[in-house]
Chain A
Amino acid sequence: MENSIIKIQGLKKVYNPDTIPVFALNGINLEIEEGEFIAIVGPSGSGKSTLLNMIGGLDSPSEGSVEIGGIKIDELDSKKLIDFRLKNIGFVFQDYSLLPVLTAKENVAFVMQLQGQADQKCNKRAEELLTAVGLQERMNNRPAKLSGGQQQRVAVARALASKPKFILADEPTANLDSKSTSDLLDIMLQLNKEEKITFIFSTHDQRVIDKARRVVWVVDGKIDKDERK
């Protein structure tokens, strides 16, 4: 694929290699193009979160490689990897993982500040992003004052703040009710369509699977099915 931003080749992750080897991933080959809205689906323990961690550079493979924008991230040392993530990858976690002492706006601006951007610029973009996810009225609230759905929207805005190449979302709707899930997916779809932002989900939520334009089924650490809608 010409527009691939992620190329995964022969990816394996083995736990306890010297005793009783457990293959969390067992030879994954996958390419993801810019602007995709892709769900990685599978039952618990299938390896979908491990795959997402490998793509995000949060874990290192036992074999194979993960190439993002032409860079093999498994070859980067930990310091370069942190920098790489900061510049290229946005994360949305299942439990939102916002900093409780910062307001919604500060949480979004925080990632840009880590990039060394000026405070004024960070605040302006944070406001724009929070408006884009429908939280213009709650910018100055701390996470404790926001609902789960609102917190997850802040998390999406935070993931977008650094203008990443793609966003990894690990079961982002697992803790949300139907309305919040629907709202969140609508926002992400809109960003995907209008801004061409690539979203990669790990999920077993049928609502997410239904909205995804590509679904990759992972079973026992292998890709069982790669379905484009």
Chain B
Amino acid sequence: MKNVIILAWRNIWRNKKRTIITVLSVLFSVFLALIMRSLQLGTYGQMIDSSVKLSTGYMQIHEKGYWEKKSINKLVSNPQEVINTLSKKGDIEYVVPRLEVFSLAASDSLSKGVAITGVDPSQENRFNGLGDKVVQGEFLKENSEGILIAKGLSSYLKLGINDTLVMIGQGYHGINAVGKYAIEGIIKHANPKLNKMAVYMTIPVMQTFIGAPNHLSALLVTPKNPKTLEALRANLEKDLGEEFEVMTWKDMLPEVVQTIESDNMGGIIMLVILYMVVGFGIFGTVMMMTMERIKEFGVLVAVGMKKIKIELMLFFEILMMTVLGLFLGIALAFPIVFYYHKNPIKLSGDFSSSMEEMGLEAILPFALDSSSFLAQGVVILLISIFCLTYPFYTIGKLKIVKALKG
């Protein structure tokens, strides 16, 4: 085996220019693929993170059937029991409780439909930094009796700090939900829709408003590792039973999933084209390496070298060239990916504004994902193996006498 490897290594340097061109083609394709893929995955990660923090969280637990109609009559009636179950799970970072309803809000002469969210101020702030979005007044405290409203809503209703907002809506099990609340703070949401209709109050105040003490509409679960979300879901479904529905952000934000999937498909098509070009390049090299050495293979078989050893030698030759290109490509791409993972590219101008309007941070982060690097290795290896079919077939069918005639 050692001799076959030595022979393979020397063979690839028989035609230095060809080997260098092949290695460089692999290097650049791996480099480009890694940069493209890291940027793409980083952007998806940021999109998911922003969407998740802005609205649903990574995972929510509701009373069975809540999400479909978001009915106020399908609330979690024993949230503490659920929280106790969740607290026993080692793979959960923290849980954020929420109670969400729609209502009509009115000032002296104006009214508007609003989305009210009952929150635990400290947990909500930990989850999405809601407190940082306060532009006027103060953020909610645990015992606040007042509310926070979005800036767009405050402008529309012409209300400011310490003004009173009246709300009327449907409460739990058909009762009227009516209340008037002092505005403690005004927050600015980047998302224009939210900025026109968001109202926040503490969960106990909200429970009193809708007449559902000790009830919640959702428990937002933040896992320690978002990649294990599906496993965590299966685990929770088993533990919580059929009374509850456990949904991930993918179930709750299908439009984000669709956006990512369609964009991802474009990226994958680009990668396929890139690797097809490289594949043909490698195949060309392999073909030439085989064709010009038919006589040599004939001699080797004649003197007693088994065909499988010749095939092994060619396998090592291709492997050495492609692995060399692969490692050099990774070595070149890694520092760039690492740098932009730690220091994302900051966008400016119109693009930046439009991203901020959508509630996304105007940055282009790179994902530092080992699976992305591993995938390049697997793809290059598969291309190499595919390219070896030609020499393997040729050697398998080799007729010594014909080969010796060259």
Contact = CB atoms under 8 A, between A and B. Distances in A.
* A and B part of one assembly: yes
Nearest to B398: A78
Interface string B284-309: 00000000000110011111111101
Interface residues of B, number: 21
Contacts, number: 53
B21 interface: no
Contacts of B306: 79, 82
B14 interface: yes
Contact of B301 (A59, A82, A102, A162): A82
- Among B11, B302, B304, B305, the most chain A Cβ lie within 10 Å of the Cβ of B304
B299 A97 contact: yes
B166 interface: no
A58 interface: yes
A35 interface: no
A101 B404 contact: no
B11 A86 contact: no
A85 B304 contact: yes
Contact of B400 (A59, A79, A87, A111): A59
A79 B400 CA distance: 13
B3 to A, nearest CB: 5
Nearest to B11: A101
B10 interface: yes
B7 interface: yes
B305 A56 contact: no
A174 interface: no
B303 A111 contact: yes
Interface string B1-25: 0010001001101100000000000
Contacts of B300: 99
Interface string B80-104: 0000000000000000000000000
B401 interface: yes
Interface of B: 3, 7, 10-11, 13-14, 295-296, 299-307, 309, 400-401, 404
8 contacts: A56-B302, A82-B304, A82-B306, A86-B304, A91-B303, A93-B299, A99-B7, A162-B304
Sorted from nearest, which 6 A-B pairs have the closest CB atoms? A86-B304, A101-B10, A97-B299, A58-B400, A59-B401, A85-B304
